[in-house]
Structures are given as structure tokens and as C-alpha cells.
Structure 1
Amino acid sequence: MDHSPSFVYLSYHGDDADFALALASQMKNRGARLWMDRLDIPPHADWNPSISDALSRCSSMLVVVSPQIVGSPYMRYELGELVRRNLPVLPLLVKPVTDADWPKEIKTQSVDFRSWRDERIFAAQLDRLIRAMQQHTGFADAFGDPPAEELQYLNDLIARVETRRGVAVNLTRQEGERSRIRPNPFAGGFTHMPYRFNLLRSNIGPSTRLADRDKRLLRGIEDAVEQLPRFVMVGEPGSGKTTTLRRLVLRDAWARKAGNTGAPLPIFRYLPRWKHEQSIIEFIMEDWPLSTDVITLIAAGEGRLYLDGLSEMGGEGPYHAGQLRDWFRSLDAPLYVTITSRVADYSGDMMLDLPIVMIEPMRDISIRELASDYLGEKAEPFLNQVLLQQRWQRHYKQGLYNLSPNPFLLTALMLVYERSPKGTLPYNNGVLFQEMVRALWEREGETEPPIWVEYEEMEKSLARLALAMLDNDMPVDVPVNWAIKQVGQSILLTLAHNASILEIRAETSNGASQHAPGSDEGGGQLRFYHQLMQEYFAAVGLRIEGFESRLPKPAFNSQVGRTATKWDQAIMALCGIADDPSAMVTQIAEVDPFLAASCISTRIIITDKVRRSVEDRLVEHLMEGDMDVKKAAAKALAEIGDRPAVQGLFRVYGRAETATRRIIVQTVQDIHNPAAVTSLLDQLYNPNPEVRRAVARALGVIGDPSAINSLRDSLHDSSQDVRLAAAIALGRIADPQAVPWLRMAMRDPEKDVTLAVVRALGQIGNRAALEALMVAFRNIDYDVHWQAVSVVRDLIDNSVDRDGHRAAVAALSTTLNDKKWYVRHNAARLLGKSGDAEATQYLLPLLQDSDADVRLAAIWATGALNQQMAVPGLLDNLADEAPAIRAMAAWALGQIGSIDAKAALVDSMNDHDEVREGYRVSDAAAMAMDKISRDEVLGVVARQLKRPS
């Protein structure tokens, strides 16, 4: 930003950000010294002071006029400041405003940008605006030479990436309207979502059921970028993939804009715009604005390539994925590239042979934090509905609980909750999305757009679009022109986009976006904001047109039983919004009782008679069908999962042949309905150990604490497999009452059972469980010991408060006198990892341990804990006979930053014994001295700054 006295302040409402960003980037690139918050406040800068500073120093103002200006205190305040200073203000009209609402502070003559989404009109009006400014004495001085081509590129890129609407932004609108300072549009929104990222183990697909050992938690997406030059980022729809990718683009763009030429230049491409006839090189080079060759740039590592939407290319996906794989193996391959894909679609021919980073669903603590930020004192009643106070509530709350870890859907849920007269949320997905769509539409209506479409008309129109997309096997993204033909009017698509029901990307391959259709002739791509929203509108369409012609007879295969169809989810949502769900389920069951069972599992309200009728049909198929049909029938009964359905499974089991029994046993273990607990408990004493094992596993999946007494008996079952399943189940239930029984079960003669018991204690994780884990920690069997180490490490990593760390420290301190060196060694390492300063006192004796590995671990731990009380012992370690210990002691003293250690470290700088090839004790001492010296200087500076002038 040019900080000369003459610059123009751009004032706009958040709802008009798309226009403001397009205008500001164009004007900047034509030499205007124009200030706009989103293009001139770098990330991590203080927002409010930056706004106030720019407002106080500007020489003139452009104000974007729309109906939103009427109720916007911050826009009125900004206008008032300029009027008070008698500075010129030029209005830009983007939406019609009545004379009564026109701000009295500014003249009525304005530049008309109401049709700005038409590129030709926008360009013509921009020329008119610039001429008017250059002829006005109050604006003429705010023009200079156009910036360099790279800065022009970055201005344009930042504007495109910032052009991003979402429910989170809409939810902050009310707070912004009360503020005199314009709100930070991303404070608490998607940009700052508490995302968690896992790096997946090599050669494993993300759609695989992953164990903890298959993934490693990263500190953040920046950690992935630092460690992995090239990777694919996968996640569920709405989990934040594109948001995260764009955040990385912004990070690199701002670094380059600030003059950091060492930062790679970001290149952003939207893969669904890749044409079939284009090579990957042609696609990347398309519309490239700089004179530098982009392929050479990214191959040399001077640019970082960001590719969004791998899974959204429709039928072209496998073909283009193959081209990408070939390119990544070639000599001109990009050195740095990040690609996004939906997790369910990243498999087979779509995989790129690159490391995979998965966005994890938000944890309960993150959901709680976000809800508290948005809802304040209303958050707790909301959280009581969407979070599980007990795991066994999962079945009853599964719709809400499964949606809430998704950032987009969580913010939409909060919007529905805010608008509910009774403050309640429906548990059925069909009704939930019905209310969600209505809330989004009504909220958009409150902005008083000049042209409006009533809810009922919008719902019918988008239902036609969703049905047509399914009927024609269209990909997730469809052409805007095609969509207009389905709904009949482009304005409806624009309104649905503004309401976050649709997302419209009118963009080229480089991501240039106007994000809404300008006319019937406009191009671009359109999609529903979330797949579940498309399924809801398809359900509305089926309610209008009828579903019978789209309900095929079920087909089966040996892998999954019944084969899913493209209409399944829409029909299930339809049952949720039907006037008579019982009649609808009856109709479905006559053709496909397996799908009827799935409909019942969505928590719709139907009569017992209909439910029994569906279950009877399924039992009949389980008894008489072929193996694929039996597999589907068993799975459907388990999906319903109530007491009669489970009893039906076991009734067939009692008289079935071996193959059918095996199917039933495999199915039982996936039951998750708490209503089945009583029937399952009866089967824990079944004479067949396979049944007992499956039942124990199912009880763990359900998580109802009422099962723990029976599972306690199963810990002593004659079958090893049953004991193992019982231990796993008690861990999943995670009730502290089970700790004494699990502690006794650590004596099990089978190691696999003992290891499962250790993991179960870790899942419970309270003080009593930690004390019990120390028994395993001191176990003579190294595998058992190491399992306990792993569990305690996870407890420390995942603890969110100091009490959790203190409990771990107290438990570990009891093991430091153990005779086994590896017990003392790993306890020391974990104490250092705890971050609890009180652990230092327990480590001091180990600094002089008889075992060198233990001494090394204790030295590292004291350095990590950074406490002065360790300095005398560490000084003694500088004289240890082992070079590795002397070097580690020097490092630890540097971490602590003790001035008292400087003399001894100076002596160690003459210690040239090698620790490993190319690294000596003197090197460690020199680095420690350097750190201590730098810390001293910073301390002096800090003290000087605190002195009064």
C-alpha cells in the first residue's frame, strides 16, 4: 500500500463484498491509490486499528450504495468521518435505493454499477468512474503509475480468493450491524475454524476404515506444507478443503506482496474447468498474465501450485487424474503442489500416488468453542442437542451429531436454532434440511434484495434442478446455462447463491470468479452448497412428481449385499418430509424392503404395524433368499436395530445353516441402536463364542453404560476372542466404573487381551485409569510396556487442561525407581512431553542415572520443561563420559537460557568429540551460547521498552 497522503478509502457493506473486491483490484491495477480492508490489511494484523488508521489518513472516499447502507452503523460512521473532515465522497450505486433511504451525507448523483456482473457494463462504468475521479480535484491526486505486473497479479488473486460467501459469514452479520467499526469478515468464521489434519500412512486409501496407527496428527496445515512438497488434501463435503486451500493461497500471496521473494508465488487453478482437449500444461498456462513462464516457475520451486476440486471433474476425472500422475513423474513436474478432493471419491483411478492429508471432523471441544463464539449464552441449550452427553445417545442424535463436526453444516444448524421459536432442532434429516433451507432463504430476504422470489417458488424450482441433475447423471458441478433452463430464471440462482444454498463459480481455469450469473447468457458452473442439500431438494421433487418410477427393484452383489442407487438418499429424505411416512414406507417396502429399513433408521415416526411388517419381510428374505439377499436382509435388520429386529436375527440364527449364521454374526457386531441392548445382553451367554464376541462388540459400538456389568463377566469368558471383544467394548463405553475390572484383566494369559485392556484404560483416561496403566508401564513384557507408553503419550497430547497433565505426571513419577532401564527412560521422555514444570523435580535424580539412555532422556526432558532448578545437574552432565550426553546437556542449558551456564558452555566449545558424523559437542555448546546471548539481548530490549520516556 502506498502511504502517501492522497489515497481513497473504499466503504462498502459486507453483502456487497463481491463488487467491492472486483472494483478495488481493477482500480489498484490501473494506478489508483485505493484502500480496501480485505486487500490492504495483511493476515494477523490488528483489524480495528488498521481500519481507524486508514479512515483518519484518507483524502477521499468511494462509498458503495445499496439498501444495506440504511441499517449499517459502521458505514454511517465512516461517511460521517469524511463529512466531518469536509472530504469528497463519491457514491457507487450497486442496488436500487429509495430517495427516503438515500444517505443525506452524500449527493444523489452516482456512478451506476447496478449491472456490474455484466463484464462489458462493468468495464464501461469503471472507465467512467476513473475519468470522473481524475477530473475531480479531491480524487485526482490519488492516481499514479500502475503497479508491477506481479503486484497486479497478486491484487487480482487476493480479490478472487477473498470473494467467498458462506453461512459463517452470514452468521456474523448481526454482530457487524451493531458495531461502529466494520467487522473483520473472517473473525471466528471459516478462516479460523479449528481444523485438525492427519497425515495418512503411505499406500493407504482415505476411504479405508482407519486405525490410529494409520495416521499422524499434524500441528496444522502449515505443518503439512512444510513437510510435504506435494500432497492431496481430502475431507468430507463442507469440511473446509477449499477454505483451507484458499487460506494457503492468501498466505503465499501476502508474503509475496510484502516483498518476501523467497516465498513461492501462488498459482490457483479450479480443476473442473479443465477441458478434455487440453493437456495439463495448456490448462495451467491458460490465462496466465505474467511474462514469466509458469511451468518453469513451478518446476523450479519458485511457484506453488494449488489445484482445487479433483473429485468434481465428473466423467473427465479418471482421464485427467491419469494426466496428473504422468505429469508429476515428468521432468517439468511442479516441485510444490497441493490438491483437494472429497474423501469418498479419492480412490482407484482418481488417486495420484501422493501423500494424503485428511481434514478431520471437528471435535466436541471445537464445536463447543465455535458455538459459544456465535451463540453466547444460548450456546449450552444448543450444544445439549447436538453433542452427546453419553455415547449411547449417538443413535437418537445421530443426525445432528454427525452433521455438527462439519463447519458449514454446524453454522447452518446454529442459524436454524436461532430462528426456532422453541429453541429446538429436529432429529430427522429431511425435516432438518427443510428448516435449514427456509432459514437461509428468509435470512437472505431480510437484506431486501430488489427482486425477490417467494420460498415456495424457490423450493419447487430448485427441486426441478436437483431432480434433473440425478435424472441426467450430472456431476456435482453443472453449467449455469443448463441450470437456468431447469429453473426458468437466472435471478433465482443468484438469490440462492447469496443465501448459501447454491454456489456459483463463473470462473476460468485460473479461478477468476464473479460468483453469480449475470444474465441468461452467463457461463460458469453451479453446485448445491452441500450434497445433503441437493438430496433434500431432490426429495422435494419426488414429493411433487412421485417417486414410484424412480424406485427400481433391488439389486445385490457379494460385497455389500444390496447395491445402492442414485435415488436412495433422496427417497430417505422424502420419508422425513412426507405427510404420511407410514404409508410411504409401506409403498417402498413392497418394492424394496431393504431401502425401507434404511428409511426407518433415519428416525422417522411410523406405526409399529408398518415397522413390524418391514421386519417380517426382511426375516423372510434372511431365511429364504440367496446369500447376497441374506446379507442385505441381515444388514437391514441391524440397521433398524430395535428389539424385535434383533430378536428376528437371532431367531433365524437358531435354525440357520452355517453360512447364514456367519452372515448374522458379522452383521450383529454393527448394531448401534440402544433399543437393542436388552436383547443383546441375553446373547452374551449364548453357547456359541462367535455370537458372544459379536454381541460384545455391538455393545461397545452402542456405548450404553448399562452393559458394563455384563461385559465385566465377559472379561473372564473361556474364549480369548470374547475377552478381547469385551475389553475393546469397555474401552469404547469409557465408563470409569470399569477401571477395577480392567485392572484385574491385565493378568490375562493372552497378550492380545492385555494390550486391549491397556488401550481401554487409556480411553477412560481418568486418574484411576492412569494409576492402573502404571502396572502395564512396569510390565516385564516390552510389548505391554510400549502399549502403555503409547496410551499415556496420547493422553498427554490430547489433554486440554493442566489437571490432565498433572495426573499423568503424578502417575509417571511412581515408575522412576523401576529396575528396568526402559521404564525409567520412557517415563522421563513422557514427563518432558507433559509440559508440566512440576515434573522437573522428579527428573533431577535421573540426570545421574546409571544408564546412559536414561540420563539422555532425562536431560532432554529437563530442557523441554525449561526450569532453572535443573541447571546444577545439567552442569554436572557437561562432564559426562559420553559425548552424546554432554551435547544434550549443552542443548538443554541453551533451552533454559541460564546465564550461570555461560562459563561452562565456553569450556564445552573446546570439546570436539563427535556425537555423530559432522556434529560435535562444541557445535551444541556454540548453539546454546548463541541462544542464551540472543535471549539476553531481547530481555534488555523488552526492559527498555517498558521504561517510561
Structure 2
Amino acid sequence: MDPYSQKLIESFQRSTKERKLELLLEISRVRDEAVLQFLINTLGDEHWIVRKTAADYIFSSQEAALPWLSAALNSYNEDIQHWALQVLARMGSKGTPSILRSLKSANPDVRYFACMALGEIREPQGIPPLLKALSDEKWAVRKAASEALVKFGEEVIPMVEQLVTRSTDEDARFWAIKSLGKLGPKAQKILLEALRTGDKQLRYVIAAALGESGDRRVIKVLIDSLADPDWTIRKSAMQALSEIGENAMDLMIESLKDPNEDIRDGCLGAMVRCGDKAWTRLFAFVETVDDNQRFVIRKGLTKLGTRVVEPLVKLFKTGKAEILSFSAATLGEIGSPKAVPVLIEGLSNDDWNVRRSCAYALGEIGEKGVDKIAEALTSPNDDVRYWVTRILESVGEAGMTYLVKALSDKNKNIRFFAAKALGASNNPEVMRDLIHALADSSWSVRKAAFGSLCKLENLSIDQLLRNMSNDNEDIRFWVGKVIEEAGRSNLDSIHDCLRNGNPELRLCACQALGAIANPASTDILIDALRDENEWVRIYSAISLGSIGDIRAVIPLIKGLSDRNSEVHKNISLAFKKLGPRVFDTLEKSVESDDRVLRRNSAIALGEMREERGVDLLILLLEDPDDKVRQAAAEALGRFSGLKAQAVLVKGIHDQSYIVRAAALEAIGEHARPDGIAILTEHLGKTKDERELRVTRRQLAVMAQKIPLSFVELFKNESAAIRTIAAEALSGAGLAIIQILTEAMVGKDETTVFWCQKVIKKVRNPQEPISDA
């Protein structure tokens, strides 16, 4: 790398955002490996626009950048990983091999972004590894792989269907089914058929994915008595059976299949009084029956309430998946907070059905156990954190307080899940915390917070607008995205802020309406062109240009009466966005009875700088109103052709001083060599001191732009002309000295003499200029 580029790179980290962008442009012109390495590192810069610009320059390197991009995928910086994969995705088939290799990375973040990238480029060779990623150990990777497959469309349906029917991995089957559910009617028909004809386990997963010593004769009489209409008889029969105990166990268990609900409930009530041996027999029976029978038993146990919580908790120590699911569901329906710790433990079970059952159970316990449930947000297990955030979300507002606290957790995954879940809150105060999360160091957290803000029912437009000018770049960016996403449905609120807010809020409202770009906002933005605050007027012009409504043209033209130059500038930019319709309107406006509109039309024609506007300005130079003629003359200064200058020569003889002055300034603005003679001649004819000053000033302006044309006048026979030329050059300031010094080389004595006179005059303003 050359020393100059190395010096630029060394100064990069200490530079401002704007300076960094300038340095990137300069550094990227050098094509070597050191520059590519620098650009890769810049993908982790704190400023989004700097990261985006670096990515664009890397993309321009194409094949040369591929090895560096591949290496960047191993970075510990999430932004570098994200942007490297974005660039690879933009490269299409060239970047696909690197993206595919990154799916084998040990870093789950790299695998996550790789899945997203494959979904964007949709190369067929990406389908098999995406299918494999559905069984990834990380939930986020599995989800990203599923979403990527959906983007391929119907071509992946056969392969995903095969995974559903043949895979033994429950996570893979679950996400495959989730993918099919999003692939349209054809795929959904397959799922519906599987629900009708598939095996029990498949139907179970599909449902979750689319939407989760005594005498036998005496014992028999006692069991039948459990159905007696008399409550006291039923109670007594149950008491007797519990006392008989072990000898009654076989018949009680057999009676759990009885169609009579009272008999089933009575047997369960008796068994739970028989101690651990009865529970062991009951659980052994539960293992042998189908789901329907288990459901019936679970309902019976639920009626017994907290008495069965402790035995069910012990059940988790058996390690049998089916019994764990049964126990979790029962504990959830009982709703005792005492079950929370063991259910939390079940969220990390290897069996997906157990995890699902524990999650649903915790959701049923809900607010009663929310404190203990929230403690699991610190779990190192991804699945636990995922399910806990889903549970806290389902609990409602009682869980939102904990999710808000989780936004400050040191673990980015916890922050992500929390930000994602908070979108279900009805508490307006949550919005402040989600906006703060838009500045999170992790892109995934920022994206999740954005998604939740868009979902909030009680979205505070006032608070959202004020953050459009937040000091943090990421917050400004994502708030702008929220405005674009949710603003259309909140237009009335934004309009109200523009009508009644303070200057800062009105400014932000204008910005928001420009981002939304809905024609329904045209009228209120037109009103804002007359706002007392100059920044509101500026942004109303910008937003009207973004909306592109033809109704805004006349008000924008009238807005050129504003004395603020920034307002003028942005009205001109709005005209460019509005396109040829502006000129069509101006053609009509120059003949309007409204003199202000005619004057502003002249200003607009000058700002637009379209050559076809010269004829309209010539027409306005004949206007009876001297301010209209003045504006036309000033506008003609933007057109340096002969036609405009010829008309301006006529303008310097106008009856109005302000028109003559404007014409003189326009000729000076043209800075054409033939304009020197026009101003010089006028200097000799006019007697008006004001015009003399204006003419001399314009000659000095022209001398700054075309100094050599004035140097040529030193050869003129007229001493007066030579003096005028010298005075104009001396008025050009210190910069003219170098030009005159170079101009003297090889010139005649007269030219050298006058050049020296001017240099002396510039250095010493008291030095007289004469021909002697």
C-alpha cells in the first residue's frame, strides 16, 4: 500500500462520520489486499452509513473480495458477519460457495446470517444445506433456515415434504412443517392430508406447528358406587377404596377407562390417597394408554388440584418423555406456582414434545408464577430463553415488566427474545424501552425492537416523531422505518402533531410525512410552508417533493417568497422530484393576475435552470411590475447563453433601478468575455452612483472568474479601458496575484506594467492606479 493511503487509514478511526465517508472514497480507489482488509474491518464501524458504504466498495471489487469476505465470516463482530454475507448475497452465484461454507461454521450467528443470505439469492444449490439447517442446535438458525426455504417457493415442497415424512429429528420435522405451512395452498393440502392419515406422532407435531387383600366383588361394588347420585355415598366409596389400597389398585386402574366420569374421578381420588406405590402404578398405566385416555386421566387429576402437584413434580425424575409431557400438561392445568421450577427445567429437555408441554403449562400458570418464570431468562439454554419469552408474552402485561428488564441483559440472545416479545404489550411505557433498544449493539436486537414497535397497539406517535431527531444514528434509522411501516395508519395523529405541536414536533411530523409519502398529507404540508419556524418550512418543502402531488406546485412556487435560502433550495429540489409537471404549471403562472405568483415563477425558472424557461423569463422581463422584472433579470443570470445576455442588455436600461441592478448582476454572473464590454460601456454612460457601484462590483466578480480576459484589455488603446480592467482585477483580491504573475511571462511591456500595477494595488489598497 502506498504511504498516502496508509496515512488515510491511520486517521480513519479518529475521524467523524462525514470524514470517514470521504476517506472511504479516497482509500477505495487503491486496489490492493491491504485496502480490502481495511474495508472488511470497516464493516464493523459504529455508523450504519459507513458500514453500508464500505460494503458497496467491497462489492465493487467482485472476485477479488471473495477470499476476504469468506474470512470475515469468522469474525467475532456481528456487524462484520452480517455485512459480509450481505455482500456475498449481492454477488449471486459468485458468493454462494462462501455462504454455503459458512453454514458449517461453529458460530451460530454466522450460520444464522448464512441462512438469511441463501434465502435472498435463492440459488438451487442452497436448498439441501438449508434443509439440513432445520435440525441445527440453535433455534435462531432453524428459524432462519425455515424462512429462507419459504422464499424458494413451490420448488422446495417435495424436498420439505420428504423431510416431514422420513426424518426422525423432531426439530427438523417441526420446522419443515412450519415451512410447508407458509408455502401456499399446495403445501397446506399436504399437511391437511397428513393430519387425516398420518401417524399419531406426525399429527401431534403438525398440530403444534400449525398453530402444540380384599374381595374383588366388594371392590367392584365400591367402584360402581362412585357413580351413585348421592354425594355422601360417592365420598364414602372413595374413602373405602383408598383404605383397601393395594388390593383395590388393579380394578381402580382398570376403571380409569370407564365411560362414567364420576367413576374415573373417584378412582383417581382414592389412588392419590394411597401414597407413592399408587402413583407408581398410575404412571405405569398412563404409559400404556393412548392420548385420549391420558387426556381423560389428566382432567381427573386436575380436579384434585394442589394435592397432586408434588407427585407430578417427582415424575420429572423418571426421564420418560411421554410421562413428562403428561405431567407437565396436568401441572399447567392445575396452575400451581410450585410447579414452575421443574417446568422451567423441562424447557431444556431433548424431546420437543416435552419442551412444548412445559411451555404451555407455564403459560397456563401465567401471572401466578411470573416471578419465577422470569428468572429463567438468565438460562444459558437457547430453547429455555425462547420458550420463557413466549410464555411471558402469553402472560400479558404481568410479564412485560420482566421483558423490559431483559432488554438490558448482557446476553444479546436474551435481549433479542425480549425485544421480540414486547410487541404484544398494551403498556405505552414499553415504547420508550423499545426505542432505546433500537440502539442496541446487536443488529438482531435492533431488528426485533423495530418489529415490536410496528406491532404495538398503543403506539405513541408523539414519542416516535421526537426520536426522528435522536442523537443516535441507529435509533433515527429504525424509527424512520417504523414511521414508514406504521405511519400510514396513524396519519391523523401525525397531522395533529403538525398542527398543534411545538416547533420540534412539527419539524419531525414533516419529516415523517415525507417518509410515508401519502398524498393525503399534501394539504397540511402546504399549510406548513407558511409555518413560523423556518425548519418546518424547509421540511414541508422536502416532504411535498417526496409525495409528488401536483397540487403542491403552485404553493411551492408561492413559497419562493420565503426569505430563507434553505427553503428556496429545498423547494427547488422538490421541483426536480415533481418533474415536468412543474414547468407546465409555470407556463400558466407567468400569465397569472397574481404578481407575486409571476415573480415567484421567475425565481422558480431560475432555480430549475431549464433552457426552455428562457423564453418565459424574457416574457416576464416585460412585465409591468418592476419586482417581477427584477426576479426575471436575476433568473436570467442562471442562463449564460447569448439569448439571455442580449435580453439583459436591454434590462440594464430599464426604468426601474432594481431591474437595472439585477440585469447588471446577471451579466456579471454570466462572466462571458463579451459581457466585459457591455458593463464597461454602461460604466461610461450611467450617472447613477448606485449603478456605478453595482457595475464596478460585477466587473470585479467577472475578474475573479475570467481574469485573463481582463489582462487582454491591458493592450487596449484606451487608457480608461485599461484602468477599468486594472480596477476590476484589483477588486478580485489576493488570489489574483498568482494568476497575474503567471500572465506576465512572455507578455509585452504594457501588459507587464499593468499587471505589476494591479499586484501593487492588491498588496497596498492605497496604491493609485493610473496610466503613468
**Taking CA–CA contacts closer than 8 Å with sequence separation of 6 or more, which of the two structures ends up with the larger relative contact order?**
1
Q: Same fold (TM over 0.5)?
A: no
State TM-score, norm by structure 2.
0.38
Computing the radius of gyration from Cα coordinates, the structure with the larger value is 2
State TM-score, norm by structure 1.
0.32
